[in-house]
Amino acid sequence: MATTTIAKSIPVPKKRAEGLAVMIRTIINARTPLSIGIFYSVLIALLLAGLYPAISQANIGSYLSSSFISGLIGGHLTNFSGFTVFLGLELYSAFYGLLFGGILAWIGGAALPNAIENGTLDLALSRPIARTRYYLESWLGVLICAAAIGLATVFAVWIDTFIVKNAGINWQWLWITQLVQWAFMFFAAGLGMLFGSFINASRAAGGVTLGIIALGYLMNAFGGLSDQFKWLLNASPFYYAPAIDPLVFHQLTWWHPWVLVIAGLVCGIAGLVIFNKRDLPAV
């Protein structure tokens, strides 16, 4: 073992840039679900391009117009023609929110408990880092994960246009559709941060948030079956992310995505208040 002694004259420590160290660590901690999200968004989009020539021959119009299928995909498609409709059905339907919103919910829910579990939260907060800053940087890290998944999707759709002849994608409306999905992811991230602010185990917090997203999907699916269940539809976050409408029909109720943004913001701020007030557990 080395037996050097501390030098007698020790310089005063110089200041160093803090950067967004917590945000970067949040993204690194989320690398597995983030990679899964990016991989599947690209894979699904590319598979669609590969399958499109065969699927486009199928006559599934009557199948799509059933209220049950409408419930499952979160929109009414009556006419199955064109690559955009195919994208709306297989990628940007309610499944997008369920799969990628679910991944975001998991990442958001696990962000803070991860730091409790791996022992870094105590050590980080014993340094000149305010809890508010720690929380906001974590939240920002989760939102960057959302941005990465969405950009990967759009990139994969762009690749599709080289594979599918005459894809006929209206890029303006595709970006609007993606913004609607980002609004849904923003909600999922905020919800995750809320649960992560008071649940100490990352799997529990991520799992609970993911469960709520799945419950919302079921409410959306069954809410469309009859007028009797319309309240279920209105209570589901999926109702406010109608991606098929903007992508296929080029129409959007503008305030619907804002409901998700505001709900995500309220959840996130509630989580911040809880995180600031609570006693943090020992490892």
Exactly one of 15, 58, 228, 255 binds other proteins (CB under 8 A); that residue is 15
Long-range contacts: 163-168, Cβ < 8 Å, 24+?
A: 163/46, 163/49, 163/50, 164/49, 164/52, 164/53, 164/83, 166/83, 167/83, 167/84, 168/82, 168/83, 168/84
The nearest distance, CB 96 to other proteins, in angstroms, is 30
Would you give the binding string for other proteins spanning residues 129-168, x where CB under 8 A is met? xx--------------------------------------
**Contact (CB, 8 A) for 159 and 49:** yes
Find where tokens 């406010």 sit: 240
**Contact (CB, 8 A) for 96 and 150:** no
Q: Does 201 bind other proteins (CB under 8 A)?
A: no
The nearest distance, CB 32 to other proteins, in angstroms, is 11
Q: Which two tokens stand for residue 235?
A: 């209570």
**Contact (CB, 8 A) for 164 and 239:** no
Q: Does 58 bind other proteins (CB under 8 A)?
A: no
The nearest distance, CB 231 to other proteins, in angstroms, is 38
Q: Does 127 bind other proteins (CB under 8 A)?
A: yes
The nearest distance, CB 12 to other proteins, in angstroms, is 8
Q: Does 282 bind other proteins (CB under 8 A)?
A: yes
Exactly one of 53, 122, 171, 172 binds other proteins (CB under 8 A); that residue is 122
Integer angstrom CA distances of residue 65 from 14, 60, 71, 74, 217: 67, 9, 10, 12, 19
Three-class SS state of 28: helix
Exactly one of 35, 67, 78, 118 binds other proteins (CB under 8 A); that residue is 118
Q: Which stretch binds other proteins (CB under 8 A): 5-13, 84-92, 159-167, 205-213?
A: 5-13
Binding site for other proteins (CB under 8 A): 1-7, 10-19, 21-22, 25, 29, 118-120, 122-130, 277, 279-280, 282-283
